[in-house]
Chains A and B, each alone.
Chain A
Amino acid sequence: MSRREKIWWIVAGVLIVLYALAPIAWIVSLSFKAPSDLANGQFLPTDASTENYSLILTGAASDLFLPALRNSFGICLIATAISCVLAMFAAYAIARLDFPGKKLILGTALGVAIFPVISIVTPLFNLWRNIGLYDTWPGLIIPYLSLTLPISIWTMSAFFREIPWEMEQAAQVDGATTWQAFRKVIVPLAAPGVFTTAIIAFFIAWNDFVYGISLTSTSASRPVPAALGLFSGASQFEDPTGAIAAAAVIVTIPVVALVLLFQRRIVAGLTNGAVKG
């Protein structure tokens, strides 16, 4: 590669990094602007202030933000766990066993994945009000399965197909018991796939807005995105911009950290599930 070409590739690379980071840098910068500074028309604050962070963590907005953060973590973790367990069994059957339901299950997963979420919200809204699930954790966990389960099945079966299952028999031939062969050979091989699937499923649940805003009404179960979306309407802040920016930064950091730590696996998981040659 010539020197000139090299420079072009580096320029292209820098542009990509700028593209990915610019809006994040902007919201971080905004979160450090004091209320008087918000409308300075510049990218950077004139004088950095942590006022917005104290507002949402300890101040007037904390009773909106902190419960939402707890709800989001709890609901998303439970939904992810349930769908990972269900998907693990299904993916094992799809990858390992010869049975006629494979196509049906993968097809259903695809159908559910492309289902318009709002079409589920309308009937659930009415039903949840009647049976008392409206504005509760289970009331969100159940519909979240429609988001997390299909991608889990899809991703995990792609991972499980790559596992050299013969190694289980090889271990048994070498004298391992069935349980030992499973625990010492198969579990370590399957764990990365399960783990990656869990991260991707968690992202999708964490990102949800439609269910969160439609099926909750109080801080008893309202997750972060929905709480953020409604900050703007709350009259208790003069200008919610700074508070929203600070809250946005706080909920973005853990996900970005996860991405940076596990990028290789996440890319493999995302693409294995959808495209496989």
Chain B
Amino acid sequence: MSTTTLPPTEKAAPVSAPAGTTSDRARSERTLGWLLAGPALLVMLLVTAYPILQAVYDSLFDYRLTDPENRSFTGLSNYWVILTDSTWWIAIGVTVFITAVTVAVELVLGFALAFVMAKALSAIRPVLRAAILIPYAVITVVSAFAWKFAFAIDTGFINKWFGWLPGISGDTDWFGGQWSALFVVCVAEIWKTTPFISLLLLAGLAQVPEVLQEAAKVDGATWWQRLRKVTLPNMKAAIMVALLFRTLDAFRVFDSVFVMTAGANHTETVSFLAYRQTISRLEIGLGSAVSVLLFLAVVLIAAVFIKGFKVDLAQARGER
């Protein structure tokens, strides 16, 4: 089973001084580069690296804002408390479930949307592109409310419209059970973020050389064969980048859960758990520990994608 890709074309390297000899010009260019880009780098580090280090430090203390006098060093005991508590594992389970379901559905749906946009008549293409951007631009909280009200018993219409389906009746309480509530959360997330994936995939589709498609067609490949052997291998970079971004984004899910269930009925995600510990319960120590664990989980996912699936971000950006 071979896949068909064009050999990578060498990009013209920027003209630079030969290695070993750093001319005055090169040195001054380097200084200017740091002067221009330095502030942005510094700000980025200040707003992320510093807080996460502070969180690591805080997580080692038994520290409650309601009782600041009794702040005491407890080492890793906060982590022990969290990791031996079922609350944490339920939150992890819910987060992984939402991430897996939304990303999988979005990838398939996003592909369908991208295909239609790529192949649609040129007359309606701008209309589709504008329409697809609307969910992207709508505030997540607004989307969550729209879906919540649509499914709610009192204000909704879903129960009435879909009452003919088995299991749905006028008084189906979607937010009363774990699975039905998570279903609605996933629907809202999928609606809101599929456009982003489909736009990335559309850009990837545009990179598939038309020559290869034509050649495969001439050789008698079916539509399905062309998709599997020509289209998908050629847009692997775009697919992996879209997957990476969406997976990490989905793993932070917070807004929809807050609006729809506020974590009730075992629908709490890891982000929500961290929020509840810190902001509602003022447990800075425990909240920091949850934050650090969430951060490590995100780093782990990114590492798996980049090392395991060999997502070459430099290649995806068009530089090497």
Q: Across the interface, do A207 and B140 meet the contact criterion of CB distance under 8 Å?
A: yes
Residues of A3-23 whose CB lies within 8 A of B:
6, 9-10, 12-13, 16-17, 19-21, 23
Q: Across the interface, do A86 and B48 meet the contact criterion of CB distance under 8 Å?
A: no
**One of A145, A224, A259, A264 near B134 (C-beta < 8 A):** A259
Q: Across the interface, do B29 and A99 meet the contact criterion of CB distance under 8 Å?
A: yes
Give the docked Cα–Cα distance between A122 and B295 (Å): 12
Q: Across the interface, do A12 and B54 meet the contact criterion of CB distance under 8 Å?
A: no
- B149 contacts partner chain A, Cβ-Cβ < 8 Å: yes
Residues of A33-60 whose CB lies within 8 A of B:
38-39, 41-43
Give the docked Cα–Cα distance between A277 and B143 (Å): 33
- A163 contacts partner chain B, Cβ-Cβ < 8 Å: no
Of the candidate stretches A105-113, A174-182, A188-196, the one touching chain B is: A105-113
Q: Across the interface, do A90 and B40 meet the contact criterion of CB distance under 8 Å?
A: yes
Which residues from chain B contact A143 at a C-beta distance below 8 Å? 47
Which residues from chain A contact B291 at a C-beta distance below 8 Å? 116, 118-119, 121-123
**One of B65, B156, B195 near A126 (C-beta < 8 A):** B65
Q: Across the interface, do B254 and A118 meet the contact criterion of CB distance under 8 Å?
A: yes
Q: Across the interface, do A251 and B142 meet the contact criterion of CB distance under 8 Å?
A: yes
Q: Across the interface, do A149 and B43 meet the contact criterion of CB distance under 8 Å?
A: yes
Give the docked Cα–Cα distance between A209 and B257 (Å): 12
Q: Across the interface, do A120 and B47 meet the contact criterion of CB distance under 8 Å?
A: yes
Q: Across the interface, do A20 and B33 meet the contact criterion of CB distance under 8 Å?
A: no
Q: Across the interface, do B255 and A225 meet the contact criterion of CB distance under 8 Å?
A: yes
Q: Across the interface, do B140 and A209 meet the contact criterion of CB distance under 8 Å?
A: yes
**One of A30, A38, A89, A118 near B37 (C-beta < 8 A):** A89
Nearest chain B residue, comparing its CB with the CB of A20: B131
- B241 contacts partner chain A, Cβ-Cβ < 8 Å: yes
Per-residue A-contact encoding for B31-58, CB less than 8 Å = 1, 0 else: 0111011011101110110111011001
Interface size range on A against B: 35 or more
Give the docked Cα–Cα distance between A67 and B92 (Å): 37
- B145 contacts partner chain A, Cβ-Cβ < 8 Å: yes
Give, as a whole number of angstroms, the nearest-CB distance from A248 to chain B: 4
Residues of B241-256 whose CB lies within 8 A of A:
241-242, 245, 248-249, 251-252, 254-255
**One of A114, A122, A270, A271 near B248 (C-beta < 8 A):** A114
Nearest chain A residue, comparing its CB with the CB of B255: A209
Residues of A75-127 whose CB lies within 8 A of B:
86-87, 89-90, 92-94, 97-106, 108-112, 114-127
Which residues from chain A contact B294 at a C-beta distance below 8 Å? 116, 118-119
- A274 contacts partner chain B, Cβ-Cβ < 8 Å: yes
Which residues from chain B contact A125 at a C-beta distance below 8 Å? 278-279, 284
Q: Across the interface, do B274 and A118 meet the contact criterion of CB distance under 8 Å?
A: yes
Residues of A254-277 whose CB lies within 8 A of B:
255-256, 258-260, 263-264, 266-267, 270-271, 274-277
Nearest chain B residue, comparing its CB with the CB of A225: B141
Q: Which 3 A-B pairs have the closest CB atoms?
A: A99-B33, A276-B318, A271-B203
| Known A123-B58, A145-B47, A259-B133; further 6 A-B contacts with Cβ < 8 A | A43-B157, A114-B249, A118-B275, A120-B48, A209-B139, A275-B207
Which residues of B are in contact with A by a Cβ distance under 8 Å?
Answer: 14, 16, 26, 29-30, 32-34, 36-37, 39-41, 43-45, 47-48, 50-52, 54-55, 58, 65, 113, 116-117, 119-121, 124, 126-143, 145-147, 149-150, 154-157, 159-161, 170, 191, 195-196, 199-200, 202-204, 207, 237-238, 241-242, 245, 248-249, 251-252, 254-255, 258-259, 271, 274-275, 278-279, 284, 287-288, 290-292, 294-295, 298, 302, 313-314, 316-318
